Amino acid sequence: MSETNFHKTRWLYKRDGRDVGPFRPHELKDLLKQKALTESTQVRELTSPEWRVLNSVPGFADVIRAAAAELERHAEDRKVAKQKAIPWVAISSVIVVLGGVGGYFGWRHMQESQPLSTSGIPTDLLRTLDLQPLPERAYLDTRGPIQWAEEKVALREVKAGTTATRPKRRPVAAQGAPGEARAVGADDLADDAAAVQEIDFSNTADEGRDLGPGELAMVRQSAISKLLGCAQAEAERSDSFNGTTVQFSLLPTGSIGNIRLGQNGANSPAFGTCARGALAGISVKPFGGGPEVIRVPLKIGR
């Protein structure tokens, strides 16, 4: 296989008993740099059922060497950057130490230069505050009753013949009766309070959890890898088959349902059987909310 054709191939790799992919060779190189793959990881080409060790595939020898070279170059760059940062750390430490020593000696000089008053507060500070003695009214005779100051509040006079008016209540649309308005008063609280019910969450288990985006992406990738095999097999049986679309729902129970095929797929009973069998093996833990609809377009290049 030429180098150009090899870079166009698509590969799956095995992880935790699952087929993950498909990926181009340059994408597998990125996974090698991230340590998600090793040279001993089992891979297979999308159109081949045979699993092989990554370093045993001739085309991946250059990919493995390129990934190792990039990792080594990144490690060298980090080492150089760390060495450049060491002098700045030392200089910053010296500045902090000198600042602390200077502050301590300055504080000691201020303590020795300012005489303290009988209260322990420096006399310069007392002069700056300009404190005044407290008046006699600030002291209370706690042995006797406290004499509170008399206060008078002027009340607003109401003229004879006037009546108090209550503001009008605004009409509020009631639930269940669109377009109809009713006045909401204090008596409505009793009716609303009687309608309150306690909700029991004791038996929800995993059914109330949120479906994470990672799980949804994993379901889609797994479906693509399985459905591509069905589409490839159908293309080998029929020259007129150039692809189709498969739509299915990930139900809250965690299983696959509501499988629908495009026109090309629906015309082939063999493809429909293969697609439904492939999707039947995909499942996740039960989750809360409604079903998630996933569309997988399949295209065969000839």
The answer to whether the beta carbons of residues 264 and 244 sit under 8 Å apart is yes
What stretches of the chain show up as alpha helix (H) in DSSP? 3-8, 25-33, 60-113, 123-129, 188-194, 213-237, 263-266, 269-280
Residues 1 and 125 in one domain: yes
Of 81, 114, 130, the residue that ends a domain is: 130
Q: Which of 105, 130, 155 is the last residue of a domain?
A: 130
Q: Which domain holds residue 269?
A: 207-299
C-beta of residue 11 within 8 angstroms of C-beta of residue 31:
no
SS percent in the chain: helix, strand, coil, step 5: 45, 15, 40
- How far, in Å, CA of 19 to CA of 221, rounded? 9
Tokens of 107: 């504080």
CA 181/CA 177 separation, integer angstroms = 8
Inside any domain, residue 269: yes
Same-domain check for residues 125 and 211: no
Confirm whether 138 is domain-assigned: no
| Angstrom distance (rounded) from CA 191 to CA 87 | 74
Q: How far apart are CA 163 and CA 181, in angstroms?
A: 29
**Which of 109, 130, 151 is where one domain is finished?**
130
| Same domain (yes/no): 4, 96 | yes
For residues 6 and 124, membership in a common domain is answered with yes
- Given the structure tokens 């430490």, which residue do they identify? 93
Q: What is the pLDDT of residue 274?
A: 92
Q: Are residues 38 and 126 in the same domain?
A: yes
165 occurs within a structural domain: no
What CATH number corresponds to the domain at position 249? 3.30.2420
Instruction: Give the tokens for residue 56.
Output: 């045993």
Determine the pLDDT at residue 138: 64
Q: Between the CA of residue 61 and those of 6, 39, 45, 57, 243, what are the distances in Å?
A: 12, 10, 16, 7, 33
- Is 30 among the domain residues? yes
Q: Model confidence over 48-104: pLDDT tens digits?
A: 777 877 777 776 777 777 777 787 787 777 877 777 777 777 788 888 888 888 888
CATH of the domain at 48: 3.30.1490.40
**Which pLDDT does position 176 carry in this prediction?**
41
pLDDT in the model for residue 126:
62
Please indicate, yes or no, if residue 181 is contained in any of the structural domains.
no
Which contiguous run of DSSP H or E holds residue 295?
A: strand 292-299
Structural tokens at position 159: 């003229």
Q: Please state, in angstroms and rounded to a whole number, the distance separating the CA atoms of residues 15 and 35.
A: 13
AA identity, residue 213: P
pLDDT in the model for residue 124: 64
Contact between 102 and 110 under an 8 Å Cβ cutoff? The reply is no
Confirm whether 200 is domain-assigned: no
pLDDT in the model for residue 286: 92
| Residue 4, SS3 per DSSP | helix
Q: Compute CA distances 183 → 167, 172, 188, 246, 280, whole Å.
A: 13, 6, 9, 54, 56
Q: Is residue 155 part of a domain?
A: no
Looking at the structure of the chain, the number of domains it has is 2
Predicted pLDDT of residue 29: 72
The Cα–Cα gap between 182 and 171 comes to 5
* Contacts of the segment 24-28: beta carbons below 8 A, 24+ positions apart: 25/59, 25/60, 25/63, 26/63, 28/54, 28/60, 28/63
Q: What is the pLDDT of residue 212?
A: 81
Same domain, 241 and 125: no
Contact 252/287 with Cβ under 8 angstroms? yes
Q: Let me know whether 10 and 112 are in one domain.
A: yes
Tens of pLDDT along the chain (302 residues) come to: 555 577 677 777 777 777 777 777 777 777 777 777 777 777 777 777 778 777 777 767 777 777 777 877 877 778 777 777 777 777 888 888 888 888 888 877 776 665 555 555 666 666 666 667 776 666 665 566 655 556 555 656 656 555 555 545 444 333 444 444 333 333 333 344 344 444 444 444 455 688 888 888 898 999 998 888 898 888 888 888 888 899 999 899 988 888 898 888 888 888 889 989 889 888 889 988 889 899 889 887 76
What is the per-residue pLDDT for 173?
37
What is this structure's pTM? Answer: 0.33
Extract the tokens encoding 141. Answer: 């005779």
Looking at the fold, whether 125 and 244 belong to one and the same domain comes out as: no
pLDDT score recorded for residue 184: 36
Contacts of residue 116, Cβ cutoff 8 Å, sequence gap at least 6: 122, 123
User: Would residue 167 count as lying in a domain?
Assistant: no
